[in-house]
């Protein structure tokens, strides 16, 4: 199928948790978005289980399953971990629900496990291999083939229980289709590559199919115990070994589970110092009862229930030869480029790491060491900015530069009014030093009114205040950051501007006063002149009137 088995939605929040958890580092990160490198992924499902945002998406094959059911003669191979994943269900209640869904029959994959464990016994009895690795877990199979190719020949040339059971079903039922149902993502990939298994579903996909048809798996508190069901123990830690006869005393029999333990064991095998060993390996810690896609995740309870319902004798199966069960797992090594030391050091320098002491190897980026991270950057899988200490130092340096070099006074207090930060400008305004202010109550240096207002929800923006005792006039912005439980104050010194404006106002007032005095004096002068002119005109008018009368002979 073309669609990837695991993909990532665009909800990634750049926490790098998936990269930290990925044992093969098959996740790249670019543009604040993680993506899976499909050719390196072994489908262990760790990224799916640890992602806090739920952005990892498993390919949904429910539509394909309905198509197969529609054609009829479709059989379910039910992984034995169903006993733990559905603690109130039994094989009988599962069979009833799945037949309502359209399955022709339901069988336990443990039947295939019985066939496989007999093949393992035969390999050990014949001593066919210095070291034999179990091949029930497809995630481990891919891990060995891609990342430990020099020991790929140690993989038992035997199919998995899922494939063995599918072969057995198709031998007994002509033209049958087989759908495996279990807790594993890697089984979906294995089914894609095999002709005997038509499809592999997870328990969660099965749940969706049942819900879409309104079918419920009925409860059965006392699930039937089967005496002939020893291979049911397969999905527990060491379960394969518990079913084997182990007749060859020259072999040691060891079980490891969980990717870290498995990779450590594989490294020991690859060293060549391990001999005569049958190694049971499972990618999931605690084996398949703790698979990544369970209906309910509780490894201990699941393991206990599986053990309680496991019998002491084998399922009855027809014999199969090693040839009928053979499967060659060839190595497909992942290319590992050999980078020059100077190229690695160049990337380290970009992350602010110039000496060995600078290489903290904290693992916050997802890589065990700074040098592994540098190699990932050179491969194009990671970015320099993924280094948390580097980002913190960069942010701290930047913020310190901004705070220290700011022309404005900056102060940060907690919700108890204790000073957490004060830059030199603010300290100078308060007549103190940053060192003397930090840890003290803000009211020891500054009027706390604005800070108290902010804590009560009344933030101040560009508010003009006066520190008259220090002859300062300031423009204040004070905000309460509820998320971080701090109050941040920024004070801009407006003293020069205020005094300059005050001086201008005083000058303007003085000019206005002088102008008024001049106008008043001029008005008085004008008035006096007017009065003099008024008197002269009156006298002239009287003289001219008398003269006119004389000339005309008019009498007074």
| pLDDT-derived band at 331, boundaries 50, 70, 90 | confident
Helices (H), 329-387: 341-350, 370-379
Q: Is the pLDDT of residue 366 over 90?
A: no
Helix (H) or strand (E) holding 419: strand 419-422
For residue 404, the tally of other CB atoms under 10 A from its CB is 12
Q: Is the pLDDT of residue 506 over 80?
A: no
Secondary structure E strands in 102-251: 105-108, 131-133, 177-182, 199-202
**Mean pLDDT score across all residues of the chain:** 89
Mind listing the pLDDT tens digit for each residue in 118-135?
999 999 999 888 999 999
Residues 71, 333: Cα–Cα separation, whole Å: 39
Q: Mean pLDDT, to the nearest integer, of 314-336?
A: 89
Q: Mean pLDDT, to the nearest integer, of 542-555?
A: 56
Q: Is the pLDDT of residue 222 over 70?
A: no
Q: State residue 536's pLDDT score.
A: 58
Mind listing the pLDDT tens digit for each residue in 387-399?
877 777 776 776 6
- 256 touches 287 (CB < 8 A): no
Residues 203, 87: Cα–Cα separation, whole Å: 13
Residue 424 buriedness (CB in 10 A; 0-12 / 13-18 / 19+) = middle
- 320 touches 122 (CB < 8 A): no
Mind listing the pLDDT tens digit for each residue in 87-108?
888 999 999 999 999 999 999 9
Q: Single out the residue of 286, 264, 299, 245 nearest to residue 125, CA to CA.
A: 245
| pLDDT-derived band at 497, boundaries 50, 70, 90 | confident
Q: Mean pLDDT, to the nearest integer, of 404-414?
A: 91
The three-state secondary structure class of 119 is helix
Cα 470–chain centre separation = 51
Q: State residue 16's pLDDT score.
A: 87
Mind listing the pLDDT tens digit for each residue in 257-300?
999 999 999 999 999 999 999 999 999 999 999 999 986 778 88
Return the DSSP state at 279: E
Q: Which domains does the chain have, with CATH numbers?
A: 1-53 (3.30.70.20), 60-325 (no CATH), 337-387 (1.10.15), 406-493 (3.30.450.20)
Q: Is the pLDDT of residue 551 over 60?
A: no
The pairing of strands 486-493 and 472-481 is: antiparallel
Return the percentage of the chain with pLDDT > 90, whole number: 66
> Please, which residues have CB within 8 angstroms of residue 396's CB and are 6 or more apart in sequence?
none
Q: Is the pLDDT of residue 322 over 70?
A: yes
In 213-232, which positions are buried (b, 16+ CB within 10 angstroms) versus exposed (e)? eeeebeebeebeebeebbbb
Highest average pLDDT, of 253-267, 292-306, 455-469, comes from 253-267
Residues 53, 12: Cα–Cα separation, whole Å: 7
Q: Is the pLDDT of residue 375 over 80?
A: yes
Q: State residue 388's pLDDT score.
A: 78
| pLDDT-derived band at 509, boundaries 50, 70, 90 | confident
Q: State residue 359's pLDDT score.
A: 87
- 203 touches 293 (CB < 8 A): yes
| pLDDT-derived band at 541, boundaries 50, 70, 90 | low
Return the structure tokens found at 74. Answer: 């479709």
Residues 190, 137: Cα–Cα separation, whole Å: 10
| pLDDT-derived band at 363, boundaries 50, 70, 90 | confident
Q: State residue 123's pLDDT score.
A: 94
For residue 264, the tally of other CB atoms under 10 A from its CB is 11
Q: Is the pLDDT of residue 170 over 70?
A: yes
Q: State residue 539's pLDDT score.
A: 60
Q: Is the pLDDT of residue 403 over 60?
A: yes
Q: State residue 32's pLDDT score.
A: 79
| pLDDT-derived band at 552, boundaries 50, 70, 90 | low
Q: State residue 519's pLDDT score.
A: 65
Q: Is the pLDDT of residue 156 over 80?
A: yes
Q: Is the pLDDT of residue 555 over 60?
A: no
What is the DSSP secondary-structure string of 459-519? -EEEEEEEEGGGTEEEEEEEEEETTTTEEEEEEEE-HHHHHHHHHHHHHHHHHHHHHHHHH
What is the DSSP secondary-structure string of 227-270? SB-GGGGTTSTTHHHHH-----TTSEEEEEESHHHHHHHHHHHH
Q: Is the pLDDT of residue 483 over 60?
A: yes
Residues 517, 506: Cα–Cα separation, whole Å: 17
Mind listing the pLDDT tens digit for each residue in 31-79?
878 899 999 999 999 999 999 988 999 999 999 999 999 999 999 999 9
Q: Mean pLDDT, to the nearest integer, of 477-498?
A: 91
Return the structure tokens found at 510. Answer: 């003085």
- 65 touches 204 (CB < 8 A): no
Return the structure tokens found at 269. Answer: 């095998």
- 89 touches 223 (CB < 8 A): yes
- 180 touches 163 (CB < 8 A): no
First and final C-alpha spacing in the chain: 139
Q: State residue 549's pLDDT score.
A: 56
Return the percentage of the chain with pLDDT > 70, whole number: 90
The three-state secondary structure class of 370 is helix
**107 HSE (CA, 13 A, CB side):** 27
Q: Single out the residue of 177, 201, 367 nearest to residue 291, CA to CA.
A: 201
Q: State residue 15's pLDDT score.
A: 86
Return the DSSP state at 442: G
Q: For the chain, how long is the longest CA-to-CA vector?
A: 175
In 61-88, which positions are buried (b, 16+ CB within 10 angstroms) versus exposed (e)? bbeebeebbeeeebbbbbbbbbbbbbbe
Return the structure tokens found at 209. Answer: 């199919």
């Amino acid at each position: 199928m073309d669609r990837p088995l695991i993909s990532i939605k665009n909800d990634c929040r750049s926490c790098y948790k998936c990269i930290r958890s990925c044992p093969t580092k098959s996740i790249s990160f670019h543009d604040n978005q993680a993506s899976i490198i499909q050719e390196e992924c072994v489908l262990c499902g760790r990224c799916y289980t640890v992602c806090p945002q739920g952005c990892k998406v498993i390919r949904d094959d429910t539509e394909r399953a309905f198509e197969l059911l529609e054609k009829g003669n479709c059989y379910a191979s039910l992984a034995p971990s169903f006993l733990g994943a559905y603690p109130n269900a039994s094989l009988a209640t599962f069979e009833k629900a799945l037949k309502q869904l359209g399955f022709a029959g339901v069988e336990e994959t443990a039947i295939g496990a019985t066939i496989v464990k007999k093949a393992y016994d035969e390999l050990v009895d014949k001593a066919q291999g210095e070291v034999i690795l179990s091949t029930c877990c497809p995630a481990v199979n891919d891990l060995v083939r891609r990342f430990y190719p020099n020991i790929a020949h140690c993989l038992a040339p035997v199919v998995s229980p899922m494939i063995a059971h599918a072969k057995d079903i198709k031998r007994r039922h002509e033209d049958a289709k087989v759908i495996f149902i279990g807790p594993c993502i890697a089984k979906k990939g294995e089914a894609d590559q095999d002709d005997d298994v038509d499809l592999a579903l997870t328990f969660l996909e099965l749940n969706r199919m049942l819900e879409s048809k309104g079918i419920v798996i009925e409860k059965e508190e006392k699930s039937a115990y089967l005496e002939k069901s020893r291979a049911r123990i397969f999905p527990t830690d060491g379960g394969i070994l518990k079913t084997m006869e182990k007749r060859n005393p020259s072999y040691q029999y060891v079980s490891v589970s969980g990717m870290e333990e498995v990779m450590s064991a594989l490294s020991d095998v690859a060293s060549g110092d391990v001999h005569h060993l049958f190694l049971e390996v499972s990618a999931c810690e605690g084996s398949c009862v703790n698979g990544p896609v369970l209906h309910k995740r509780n490894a201990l309870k699941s393991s206990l229930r599986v053990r309680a319902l496991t019998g002491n004798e084998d399922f009855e199966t027809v014999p199969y030869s090693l040839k009928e069960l053979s499967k060659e797992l060839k190595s497909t090594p992942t290319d590992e480029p050999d980078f020059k030391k100077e190229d690695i050091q160049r990337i380290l320098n970009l992350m602010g790491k110039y000496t060995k002491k600078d290489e903290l190897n904290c693992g916050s980026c997802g890589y065990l060491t700074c040098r592994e991270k540098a190699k990932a950057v050179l491969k194009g899988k990671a970015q320099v900015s993924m280094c948390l200490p580097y980002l913190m130092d960069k942010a701290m340096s930047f913020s310190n530069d901004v705070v220290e070099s700011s022309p404005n006074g900056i102060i940060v207090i907690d919700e108890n009014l204790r000073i957490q930060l004060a830059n030199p400008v603010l300290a100078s305004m308060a007549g103190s030093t940053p060192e003397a202010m930090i840890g003290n109550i803000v009211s020891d240096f500054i009027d706390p009114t604005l800070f108290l207002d902010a804590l009560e929800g009344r933030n101040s923006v560009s508010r003009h205040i006066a520190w008259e005792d220090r002859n300062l006039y300031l423009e204040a912005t004070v905000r309460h950051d509820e998320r971080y439980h701090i109050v941040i104050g920024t004070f801009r010194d407006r003293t020069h501007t205020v005094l300059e404006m005050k001086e201008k106002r005083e000058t303007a007032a003085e000019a206005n006063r002088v102008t008024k005095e001049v106008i008043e004096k001029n008005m008085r002068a004008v008035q006096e002149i007017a009065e003099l002119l008024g008197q002269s005109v009156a006298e002239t008018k009287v003289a001219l009137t008398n003269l006119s009368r004389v000339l005309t002979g008019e009498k007074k």
